[in-house]
Each structure stands twice: as C-alpha cells, then as structure tokens.
Amino acid sequence: MVSLKIFVDTKNKKVVFAEAGKEFIDFILDMLSLPLSIVAKLLKEHNESKVGCIGALYHSIEALSPSCFESDSHKGMALKPRTNVVIPLLSCYEGRSGQQASLQPTNYPSYGRKFVKEAISFIVMDNLEVKPMSATLIKSIVIDFDILTEQEVQVGCNEGLNLLKASLESQTVLSTVFLWNKK
C-alpha cells in the first residue's frame, strides 16, 4: 500500500492535484513500461477488458489457432512478452495465467524500480501529469483554497489496476479512481 494525499475541489467535485512521494511516482512510471499485452491481460483477469480495443485485440490473438503463427512460440511472444517489469502494486494479479515473470515482487526496499529520488515531493495532476512540488506551483493551480479539502487515500492492488485502466480511458484519472469510482 502507498499513501497519497489528494486535494479535492468540493465545489466541482474533482481532484485538483495529489501530493505524492517516491513510491507513487515510481508506480506510475512503472505503468509506462508495461507492454500492452500485459496491460490487456491484467485488465482481462480483472474483468475490465472493455478498455478501448486492446481487450478485443488480446482476446482475438488468444483465440487464434497456433497454425496461424510462424511457429508455436510466436503466439506466446505476442501474448506473454519476455520482460522483467516489476510492479508490486499489481502483483496481486500475478500467477492466474502464467505471467509471473513480469509481475514478481523484488527485493527492492521500495516498490518496483527506482526512478525518482526519495527526498523530492511531487504534485500529480488529475491527468497524471507529474511536477516537482513547490509553493509557486500550488498557488498557480489552486484558485480558491476555501473549496479545497485534503484526503489521504491508500493505493493498493485494486486502486493500482483502476489507475492503470483509467489512464487509458480518461483525462481525470485521480477523480475517476478516488471520487467517482467508489464501489
């Protein structure tokens, strides 16, 4: 689990920005490194295969007879690329269909790979745009501090997958996952 502080515009009911540390920024950067076939597979395993046409593409390739491919291994290479992407926030979905090599936890002291420095705080916009935190930046983003509330949210496996899905569908990812998508 990773903690994230979101700042919500209560008047317009949307996340204005989030204050994030290293673990969350490393997680969203790890999402960028996922091959599309792994994204499609993760979403399919979570019954979320309706993200654009990626789910349909994955399902159609999965359903093709091996005789349609140059060799037996080519179908597997398309559906299960050999990669060592490690995203512990999504590792709770590993192993259902043999994708363990891509989603195994590591011995890192924090999540996944280390992209950003520990000592820096970041602002993450609703569309996942990342910027180093500064008072000047916050003043340029927030028009009315009176309508802003702070909430601490936990990002675990389900939220991680929802963030991945929403990032493919929406420009309001944080609002979608933490305000509108509450189940």
Question: Of the spans 23-37, 70-84, 136-150, which averages the highest pLDDT?
Answer: 136-150
With a CB cutoff of 8 Å and minimum separation 6, the contacts of 116 are: 22, 25, 26, 29, 122
With a CB cutoff of 8 Å and minimum separation 6, the contacts of 129 are: none
Q: How confident is the model at residue 103 (pLDDT cuts 50, 70, 90)?
A: very low
* Phi (first) and psi of residue 28, to 5 degrees: -70, -30
pTM: 0.80
Domain edges within the chain: 2-34+85-180
Q: Which helix (H) or strand (E) holds 55?
A: helix 54-63
- pLDDT tens digits along 109-153: 333 467 788 878 999 999 999 999 999 999 999 988 999 999 999
Q: How confident is the model at residue 12 (pLDDT cuts 50, 70, 90)?
A: very high
Q: What is the DSSP letter of 70?
A: S
